[in-house]
Structure formats: C-alpha cells, structure tokens
Amino acid sequence: TYPENGRFEWSAPSNIALVKYWGKIEPQLPANPSISFTLDSCKTVTELEFSKRANDGNFSFDLLFEAQPKEDFKPKIIKFFERIERYLPFLKDYHFKIDTRNTFPHSSGIASSASGMAALSVNLMSLEKALNPQMTDDHFWKKASFLARLGSGSACRSVKGEVVVWGKHAEIEGSSDLFGVEFPFGIHPNFKNYQDAILLVEKGQKEVSSTVGHDLMIGHPFAERRFEQAHENLSKVKNSLVSGDLESFISIVESEALTLHAMMMTSNPYFILMKPNTLEIINKIWKFRRETAMPVCFTLDAGANVHVLYPENVAVEVLQFIKDELVAFCKNGEYICDRIGAGAQNF
Ligand code: PMV
C-alpha cells in the first residue's frame, strides 16, 4: 500500500557530548568517535504531514516554526533532502508540511540542529516504514540515525538510547561512522537519571558555526594527536560509565570540554568562545567540588554556555549551589534543568 496522505509526529531531544566530535571527513563522517548523554526535556517536536503528488523533479514542502512560516530554514532542508534522497527515493513523490517547535527558549544558544534533524529524520522513517511495513525496528532506528547524521553530525546521537556512541571505536562493538549506537554495556547506577543544568551565559546565534568549526581541524597542527586522544578518552569514559567511577568520569569530561576550546584557540583563524562568565562558573564549580567533595563537573559545547553535570543524589545541594552562586553569571539569570533521556518519542 502506498499511503496517499497522512501525518506523523515525533519529538527528539538534544544531546550533550562527553567526548566531543570536532573535525569531520567530508561529506559527513566524524574524524573521531564521540559519546553523549541524550537529554530529556530539551527537545524539538516535529509534525510531518504528507500528501501524494505528481513527481515534477523538485522537492515540495512548507516549513513552519511554531505554526508560522519559516523561510530561512528552507535552504538547510533542501540540502538535507538532496543528501538523503538516494536513501529515501520517494521524497519527490510527496508534498510535505513540516511544523516544528522547540521546548527550550528560542535562540537560547542551545543548538537545535541535533534535536531538529533527529526529529525530522525519525518522521521520514515513519513514512518509509509505512511504505515497507516489514522493516525491522533495528533497521528503523539505525537508518533514522544514519539520516540524522546527514542533517547534522551530532544529530545521529539524538535518536535512540540514553548514552550513544557515534564513530568506529575498537572497544564498542557495532560502533560505526555512519550512525549512532546505544552504549552496549550496562551503565552503573551512579549515572541513573544523571542531571544536566544548562547555564545560559550567552544567548543568540553561535559565533562560530559547527560547519566552520569542523573545517578548522583540517590542517590543524594538533589534529592527529587530538583524534587519537578522543579514542583514548572514549575508552576511559566507557570504563567510568561501567564501573561508576565518578572521579575519572569528571576528569575526562572536563578535559574534553577544555580540549575542544583549546582546539579553537589554536586553529587558524583562532577563536575564544568562552566568556568571562564561563570562566567564573568553571572556577565556582571547582571551588564547590573542593569544598564539598560532591561529584559535580562541567562540560561545554562550541559556545559560552556551561552544562553542569551531576548525579541525582546530590541534586538538592547542587541546585541550591547553582541558585546561590552561579545564576548571577547567567544571562537574565536563565538556566534549564535537564537530565538523561531515552531519545525520540512518537505521538
Ligand atoms: O553536529 P555538529 O556538526 O553541530 O557538531 C557538534 C559539535 C559539538 O557540539 C561541539 C561536539 C559534539 O560532539 O556534540
């Protein structure tokens, strides 16, 4: 059966990398493996309406953001459709209405490309499954992640699973450069419901887009060593996640964040993406950890915002600390409390 028209609706969350993806091999393969926590409440909800049409050789879609037409995202979607058409050959046989909203504040500086591309990809896979009902679940999820990667690399880690590895790694069975896979080992209870408070230091557009950022690793003097280090750090994070060793977890996660920024500071051209308040927050976290011995750490994306990671059993104390000492360094005092989540959800 060839569905004439219908609709799907899926949400997909953002994710936060513990070992960072920074550097790609064209078109869209990672120069090194990465691992992330999938988030829970920071997500994109996308509704995909489809109706059969005569294929005129073009893509046909309307794009809405919070029910309002959003023309400026169109080129990104066209580029995405061009990349994935060979894997979803029915794309030009349908007219689509793609309506998207984010649960996090607009231009909060939280990247919505991972959650957005993941949500759209899973919706498109639902249509593909309607066309091929015999498809296995495993195929559905792998291909959804594969498509999401072609939209935005890290989006492939936002599709399924609480902890996701993207990129071939010797110790992670089934890992691939082509899609994200769920962490295949049992995770220690210390990481159950792990918390991520996202402190919004800087809002608005990113200073350096990730496309430009990845390109800075081409010919970068430290690139090769960095890519090796990511393999080593992924082994170490893997061991911490299994053993529950929070001390080693913290040391690798913070080092990864600073290394990501160090790569940007040492590229040509160079960038400093941290703000003074980013450093104030990092220093406060270090002081708090020294004084209380609580296993709180930070990580960063390619921007000034700080993700504060901590286990659920210290949540009360850490939230109090955030309110008392860190909120002062956030833009308009804004921060978002999130935690580990499971991936895309169907409505
Ligand atoms: O998926 P992209 O191309 O936006 O790159 C994401 C890069 C970082 O967020 C800095 C690191 C990561 O692994 O998520």
The pLDDT, as a whole number, for residue 235 is 98
Query: The tokens of 85 are what?
Result: 């058409």
Residue range 178-196, pLDDT digits in tens: 999 999 999 999 999 999 9
Q: How far is ligand 1, taken at its centre, from the CA of residue 302, in Å? A: 7
pLDDT beyond 80 at 110: no
Handedness of CA 260, 289, 287, 203 (dihedral sign): positive
pLDDT beyond 70 at 234: yes
Q: At what angle do helices 74-84 and 113-131 cross, to 10 degrees?
A: 50
pLDDT beyond 90 at 43: yes
Average confidence (pLDDT) over 283-290? 98
pTM to 2 decimals?
A: 0.97
Residue range 194-205, pLDDT digits in tens: 999 999 998 877
Q: Quick check: CB of 302 below 6 Å from ligand 1?
A: yes
Q: How far is ligand 1, taken at its centre, from the CA of residue 108, in Å? A: 16
Q: Quick check: CB of 153 below 6 Å from ligand 1?
A: yes
Please name which of 157, 75, 153, 85 lies closest in space to residue 124, comparing C-alpha atoms: 85
Asked if 55 and 194 count as a contact pair (C-beta separation under 8 A), the reply is: no
Element housing 249 (H / E)? helix 246-265
pLDDT beyond 60 at 269: yes
Asked if 19 and 233 count as a contact pair (C-beta separation under 8 A), the reply is: yes
At position 88, the amino acid (one-letter code) is L
Q: How far is ligand 1, taken at its centre, from the CA of residue 299, in Å? A: 13
Which atom of ligand 1 lies nearest, measured to the CA of 20?
A: 13
Please name which of 194, 169, 195, 192 lies closest in space to residue 181, comparing C-alpha atoms: 169
Element housing 242 (H / E)? helix 223-243
Query: The tokens of 170 are what?
Result: 């010797």
Label residue 105 by pLDDT band (50, 70, 90): confident
| Spatial separation of the C-alpha atoms in residues 173 and 233, rounded to whole Å | 17
Rounded to a whole number, what is the largest CA-CA distance in the chain?
Answer: 67
Q: How far is ligand 1, taken at its centre, from the CA of residue 340, in Å? A: 18
Asked if 167 and 175 count as a contact pair (C-beta separation under 8 A), the reply is: yes
Element housing 197 (H / E)? strand 195-199
| Alpha-helical segments (H) within 34-107 | 74-84
- Domains with residue ranges and CATH for the chain: 5-187 (3.30.230.10), 194-339 (3.30.70.890)
Average confidence (pLDDT) over 15-31? 96
Rg of the chain over Cα atoms, rounded to whole angstroms, equals 20
Q: Quick check: CB of 256 below 6 Å from ligand 1?
A: no
* DSSP state, residue 126: H
Handedness of CA 109, 43, 162, 79 (dihedral sign): negative
Q: Quick check: CB of 210 below 6 Å from ligand 1?
A: yes
pLDDT beyond 70 at 1: no
Residues in the chain: 347
pLDDT beyond 60 at 48: yes
Asked if 120 and 98 count as a contact pair (C-beta separation under 8 A), the reply is: yes
Q: How far is ligand 1, taken at its centre, from the CA of residue 327, in Å? A: 25
Q: Quick check: CB of 249 below 6 Å from ligand 1?
A: no
| Ligand 1 mutation target, pool 16, 21, 260, most atoms within 8 A of CB | 21
For tokens 């002062």, name the residue: 328
The pLDDT, as a whole number, for residue 293 is 98
| Selected residue with higher pLDDT from 3 and 250 | 250
Q: At what angle do helices 113-131 and 137-151 cross, to 10 degrees?
A: 140
| Spatial separation of the C-alpha atoms in residues 283 and 106, rounded to whole Å | 28
Cα-based distances in Å from 221 to 207, 251, 261? 22, 24, 15
Q: How far is ligand 1, taken at its centre, from the CA of residue 58, in Å? A: 30
Per DSSP, the three-state class of 267 is: coil
Query: The tokens of 187 are what?
Result: 């995770």
Q: Quick check: CB of 17 below 6 Å from ligand 1?
A: yes
Residue range 50-65, pLDDT digits in tens: 999 999 999 999 999 9
Q: Quick check: CB of 223 below 6 Å from ligand 1?
A: no
